[in-house]
Structure formats: C-alpha cells, structure tokens
Amino acid sequence: MEERTVVISGAGIGIGRATAIAFAKQGYVVYVTDILEREGHEVVQQIETQGGHAVFRKLDVTDSTAVDAVIQEIEKEFGGVDVVVANAGIAHRVPLEQMTDAKWDLTNDIDLKGCFRMARAAAPRMRQRKKGVIIAVSSISGITYGWGEHVHYSAAKAGILGLIRGLAAELGPDGIRVSGVAPGFIRTAQSLSEEHSMGQAKLDAQASSIPLQRIGEPEDVADVILFLASDAARYVTGQTILVDGGLTIRQG
C-alpha cells in the first residue's frame, strides 16, 4: 500500500502537535515541522513510541527556500505530499499605538504568508498527481470575532479565508481540495499566555459563555482537520469550519 504523507507546520505544540498525533494514528507518515526543535523531536518520539512513523524538520515558514526544501524532500522520498496542514502562527498583543510596520509584517509573514508558502511549494506536484489536500488554520478572529490589541493577527487570519477560497478555485480542477479550520477558545500555550492572550483564569471563565460549556482542546481541532483531509470530505473545498463549541452563535 502506498504510504500517505502529511506535513504540518507549527507541529511542536498545541493544535499542530495534536494534529500530528492524530494523523500518525491513521497511518500517515508525519513530517513534524517547527522552529521549536526540542518540542518537535518530542512529538516524533511520542508518535514512534506508539508505533507510528514521523520525521522532524526544523522549519521557519518565513523562509521560502526552507519551505521548498522540506516539500521537495518529501516528494523525493515518498513521491509527493498528500496533505499539507499550514498551522504555524503567532499572536502577539500589540496596542494600535505601538503597532509598527515591522510588528505588523512579522505576524502576516508567519500567519498568512506562511500558509501561502506551504501551499505554493506543494501545489505543483499535487497537480501532477491530480490529488492532494491543503488545510490552513485560521481563527474565529478572522471570521466573526473582534480581538482588541491583536488587529494584525485578526487581519492575517481573515486573509487566510481569502487564500483558501482562491486556492480552492484555482486548484480544484486538478483534484486538489483546500479547506480551513477556525478555532475558538482552545487550551493552548497561546491562549494560556498572560502576556499575549487571556491566561488560564480568564480562559476558564469563558467556558460559561460557550454553548458546549467548556474550553476546547487541541484534539477537538485536530479531529476536524483529519476529517477535512479524509475521503469523508471528498466534496468539500473552499470552506473554513468554525471549531468553537458554538461561541460565535451564542445569544447572550
């Protein structure tokens, strides 16, 4: 049987880590990529301990040459990438009056352009093979939710929605599906950060405002990503699924 491959950016922690483990359990060869080397190697070790097959590659998604090299390595070794999960991102708290061009550009270079670089690198071979799935991680802040002091993050995550639609329209005739997920309040290092997000106490306090009455876990998002990559979602493309426990439809 042909081995299925997935490459995930930002896979050392949080949603990326949970996604790597989820794909490994389904028999994928998982390329775990991140700038966090120790965490990335730990994910690979966990997958291999559980009988899976994973490889770590240090990757900064702002480096086009490095992104291209990882994709080319997978193509050379396995014939192609079956699934790309563009997950790497940052969310730094920056009040508007302190928002320099450099801070704006850094967030967009990682969160939005990083997704573009992953897709651009994988698309040519996917087109040749007439198959492939690209999944990008957006946020409720890119769809329906305003987040003060994070306007650069919200703009980048909103841009991902347009990227998904445009890629889906362009690549669909070649059998490539492009979709996304938009997580709500998920228990990750980012959301637990006192400096850049809510911190644990404020995050836990949000549970009562969510219809499902709990904060999401990284695995809740990973399972939706796995669905979008699967044949069960074979007629889904250009869509971004909210994974927020109902937060954005609450009435009070």
Identity of the residue numbered 167: L
**Separation CA 132–CA 198 (nearest Å):** 36
**Residue holding tokens 């997580």?**
183
Which ranges of 50-81 does DSSP label H, i.e. alpha helix?
Answer: 64-78
Give kind and range of the element (H or E) at residue 85. strand 83-86
With beta carbons less than 8 A apart as the criterion, state whether 108 and 153 touch.
no
Which sequence positions are flagged as catalytic?
153
Element counts in the chain: helices (H) and strands (E): 8, 7
Interhelix angle 14-25/218-229, rounded to 10 degrees, is 50
